[in-house]
Structure 1
């Protein structure tokens, strides 16, 4: 009887190990999920952290900002990654969560290089995405029909582009894509197309648009001259364990802030000259406060 129970115990242990990637379950494991835009940073940081802390296993999953925020609120995961504020998601009790802002990403409208346009006003940008301007010739470009490519409803990139780039206007009904890579391929291959992406995905196959003469650059984001940008958030419950706190400290370390984040094309939150609240209120390092212009224009 004893040997039979012993064999059964070993069998259960073997099943558990196989279900956890040939690694015994650990009380020191952390699970993170959410924003796919933020995911490259988190995955690289988690890999580095796992090498430095052998007794802690950090698991990183995607799912989108809404998934990350809702799952951390439910206690299903340790950290929820998001590129929007938790209070912007319906049904979320943001007061129960703690916001850790790790990085910043700029967002820019992009067009096919054959369009012949490199700069628009914000009013013109709104006209394009609301369907009022239908041909590039009206903006000094080629005689090409404007083809709008949107990100999917619920996308953090779309939410931030409409909020800061379109001054709160909703984009017209148009083709939607969930993948940034697909957006870049379509815009790069199709004359007349326009969409929007995060800075790290800019390539020579697409043309970023300046707005009101301001270029979409990291430096202009840091000084808030370019206002279409977003925080990459890590949300936790207000009460969290020491392993979670240790990983969050690592995300703010020099290795992540000065090496991993810039390497991937994002901006360390520690490099920003201003801090911006959800409603657009700015505070600088001296503690002074300024209000973003109500029109959210991108003028210098």
Structure 2
């Protein structure tokens, strides 16, 4: 059975266990980054299946900065981020709680005919020096580069950890996606496209996840990853939010994180 069907069945079973009065149950949104959205939604579903009193929702991305602004202003109780807080953000009373380490994956449209590259080849692709997949042993297709904005957490991590990316000037012949979901869907829909984002098992459905220098994103020696964290104010007293934070540290949540190809971060 395809993984997407397994995940859908898992979420369905979890949600089926929620009390039938869930329509009247209080909603608790966790707002912010698009990185790790599949992971956090699966944790939320498991929390509700275990009897959590709130209906936890993980809405579409507003970015790490949007999540920080929402929590800091009191518009949201819980947020999600894929970068560390700045000193000023931490000084404002926002607490950072890491829950999962997500490998930074490179994905391509399956029609490209390539499933592995070297780090040098990635630099050549993103700089524009290699423009056709046939130059890498793939299909005779123009390479369509999908990038993220300079402040994106995955791009920041790639510049810090991926060989050759620190000073890489990404080709001007590229599309800038403003969310992780936009980047993924662009690669899924556009022949010849390549993009990057946090790894999760659903990426393996309808896309090709590249090996880099012989390593798959779930391998211990894979060179790059992003940390997904929850944020909240240090004055937090909301019982539903506190219950979810405790659950995020529990073994059940760690099992969900691992099942999706990420690594739990120990409290």
Is this a same-fold pair by TM over 0.5? yes
Q: In 1, Cα distance between the equivalents of 2:252 and 2:193?
A: 39
Rounded to whole Å, the distance in 2 between the matches of 1:112 and 1:39 is 21
1:229 aligns with 2:225: yes
Uncovered stretches (5+) of structure 1, i.e. residues with no partner: 1-20, 276-300
Q: 167-176 or 74-83, which moves further after superposition?
A: 167-176
Using the TM superposition, give the Cα deviation of residue 103 of structure 1 relative to its aligned residue in structure 2, in angstroms: 1.3
Aligned counterparts, 1:207-218, within 5 A:
207-216=208-217, 218=218
Q: What is the TM-score with the length of structure 1 in the denominator?
A: 0.65
Once the two structures are superposed, the pairs formed by residues 1-300 of structure 1 within 5 Å of their partners are: 23=24, 30-50=28-48, 52-54=51-53, 56=54, 58=56, 60-62=58-60, 63-87=62-86, 93-95=89-91, 96-151=93-148, 154-165=151-162, 167-168=165-166, 169-173=168-172, 174-178=174-178, 183-184=183-184, 186-188=186-188, 190-200=190-200, 201-203=202-204, 205-216=206-217, 218=218, 220=219, 223=220, 225-241=221-237, 243=239, 244-258=241-255, 260-270=256-266
Aligned length: 238
Report the Cα distance in structure 1 between the residues aligned to 2:107 and 2:160, rounded to whole angstroms: 17
Partner of 1:241, secondary structure, is coil
What is the TM-score of this pair, normalised by structure 2?
Answer: 0.71
CA-based RMSD of the aligned residues comes to: 3.4
Q: Max radius of gyration: which structure?
A: 1
**Structure with larger RCO (C-alpha < 8 A, sep 6+):** 2
Q: Aligned to 1:202, what secondary structure does the other structure show? A: helix
Distance 1:190 1:49 in 2: 36
